[in-house]
Amino acid sequence: MAVSQGLLVKLSDIINRYEGMAVDTCLSQQTSALAENTTEQIHQARLKAQNEWFGAIAAIESLLLSQINEITPDSPTCHGLILSAPTPILCHPKLTSQLQTGVFTPQATHHLSLMRLQLPAAYSPKSVCIKGNLAELPLFPEDPIATEQFCLVFTPLFALIAVLGEDSLGLPAFQFSFEPEVIEQGWLTLRSRLCLTHYPQLSQLDALVRHFAPPTPDYRLVSQFSRLLLHHLPPIPTVDSDKPRLTILTAENTVKSHSNRKIAKEITDDTSEVPLLQALTHEIRTPLTTIRTMTRLLLRNKELTPQMVKLLETIDQECSEQINRMELIFRATEVNNSPQETKPRHLVSTSLEEVLQQSIPRWKKQAQRRNVMLDVVVPKKLPQVVSDPAMLDQVLTGLIEKFTRSFSDGGQIRIQVTTAGHQLKLQFQTESHCPHNPLKALGKLLMFHPNTGSLSLNLDVTKHLFHELGGKLIVRQRSEYGEVFTIFLPLGNRESGVME
């Protein structure tokens, strides 16, 4: 990596680039740009990311302590390397005495100029690691990496990169990865800074990184880290008994539309379930993401038999579906419990054709796995609609998930797309082999299917989500064996409303 290029890259950029291998534990992933999010949403994302960072540091310390405790007296004095910013992450005396630590801190330009005049220290094996040594590593004050909190951990048993920075959409996020390639790119990015400042002990750091080269992660260790992170998470704010609202998450929705105000009132009458749902979605999503990460690492093994590949792909698909369900439930709690008076959702001209092309193959796999036939009738050309493309895909996928999981013994789903004046009409017709399962309400947001054990958003919440997308949902029950869900979306260009 060239030095000039390295200075333009942050560690969060690297993890975002390898997001298929990395784990992003941010609880409030958004589908719109940073400028389109309210100040409250950004503030909540920052608080959550910071809590996860604190939990991760405690988890790292626990893992390192368990590793250090197994060291024999005749072992080498240096048992790992920790690079962090802007402060050291370890405080336990047993760790600070056994691990080499380097802290990146911004330094004045004139001080860095003086450093360039110093000759690098001669390298010798004895100087690779000094017991209890803490080195200060220079950064230019204007370096974009100085805005992040991060740590790189190198030990004989595992390596890890953790970053409190931004996700691919510019929102505050905490991310981590055990993937060797991601960790190596992170080190090269930091190394480019040290090259530019002519850091005199760079050769010693190079030797340490080579000595503790990132190993292939053990799935048991990754799972243990995830459990420790969850265990050390700071407590979620609870409801103040003297005030009918949450300490941090405001449950009062101020909306201009009468229909929106009515829906918001019905949903937020009881706000005690909101922090519980947020906690549950996080508890479920994080270990599933870890399992999916390890599954994708296993799929890279070229020696797997076709049967093993098929099984691993099934695990990956099931994890992805459940992660998406948890994200949709969390998104619903955010949409229905955040202030609306500041700024409406920014909707754009959206290619429904692209959304369907990407989603239909995934929907068919979902249906096939549950013995459900999916019949899709889509015209060759579709006009643009006004919506939020990413959230639209997420909500439509949630509907398919709701249908396929509500059929206890197979069924059929027919999707048909037509125009209706200046609107596009998506109609989902369901037909089950058995009568529809009775539903039970769980609070104000969720419905429970006793015969299948599945959860889904209730109709009021689902309608509210489509309202946020600029559309409208109408539900009609034809019989106890079938339902019709009709979605209307405004056309993006009325002149292009003719379909073939």
With a cut of 70, say whether residue 82 has pLDDT above it: yes
Query: Could you tell me the two tokens for 466?
Result: 């489509």
Chain centroid to CA 351: how far?
25
The answer to whether the CB of 447 falls within 8 A of the CB of 460 is no
pLDDT single digits (tens) 108-137: 444 444 443 333 343 333 333 433 467 888
SS3 454: strand
Other beta carbons within 10 angstroms of residue 202's beta carbon come to: 17
Quote the strand ranges of 155-236, DSSP E.
159-166, 172-177
- The helix/strand/coil state of 230 is helix
| Domain residue limits, the chain | 3-69+77-231, 258-336, 348-496
Cα 84 off chain centre by: 23
The arrangement of strands across the sheet holding 472-479 comes to 372-377, 411-420, 423-432, 482-490, 472-479
Decide which of 2.60.40, 1.10.3470, 1.20.58, 1.10.287 is the CATH code for 258-336: 1.10.287
Fold of 348-496: Heat Shock Protein 90 (3.30.565)
Grouping H, G, I as helix, E, B as strand and the rest as coil, residue 105 is strand
Picking from 281, 309, 283, the residue whose alpha carbon sits closest to that of residue 295 is 309
Residues 6+ apart with CB under 8 A from 381: 353, 499, 500
pLDDT at 379: 86
Is residue 215 within 8 Å of residue 180, measured between CB atoms? yes
Residue 36 reports pLDDT greater than 50: no
Q: Mention every residue, 6+ apart, whose C-beta is less than 8 A from residue 264.
A: 253, 255, 336, 340, 464
**Tell me, what's the pLDDT at 496?**
39
- Quote the CA–CA distance of 355 and 297 in Å, as a whole number: 28
Per-residue pLDDT, averaged over 325-332, amounts to 81
- The Cα angle at residue 456 between residues 351 and 238, in degrees rounded to 5: 105
- Cα 38 vs. chain centroid, distance in angstroms? 19
Query: Which residues, listed in sequence order, are joined to residue 135 by a DSSP beta bridge?
Result: 102
Could you tell me the pTM of the whole model? 0.49
| Phi, psi (degrees; rounded to nearest 5) at 64 | -65, -40
Confidence of residue 277 (pLDDT cuts 50, 70, 90): confident
How is residue 62 written in tokens?
Answer: 């626990």
Q: How far is CA 365 from CA 78, 90, 338, 372, 466, in A?
A: 51, 46, 34, 10, 24
Taking 70 as the threshold, does the pLDDT of residue 293 lie above it?
Answer: yes
pLDDT at 408 over 70: no
> Exposed (0-12), middle (13-18) or buried (19+): which is 209, by Cβ within 10 Å?
buried
Nearest alpha-carbon partner for 28 in 51, 11, 8, 56? 51
CA dist 278 and 275 (Å) reads 5
- Secondary structure (3-state) at 103: strand
Identify the CA nearest to 158 among candidates 94, 223, 97, 104. Answer: 223
- Residue 442, classed as helix, strand or coil, is strand
List, for residues 444-487, the tens digit of each pLDDT value: 788 877 766 677 888 888 888 888 888 999 998 777 778 899 99
The dihedral of CA 293, 330, 482, 467: what is its sign? negative
Cα–Cα distance, 353 to 495 (Å, whole number)? 17
DSSP letters of 76-96? -S---EEEEESS-S---HHHH
DSSP letter for 226, please.
H
Residue-wise pLDDT for 188-205, tens only, equals: 999 998 988 888 889 989
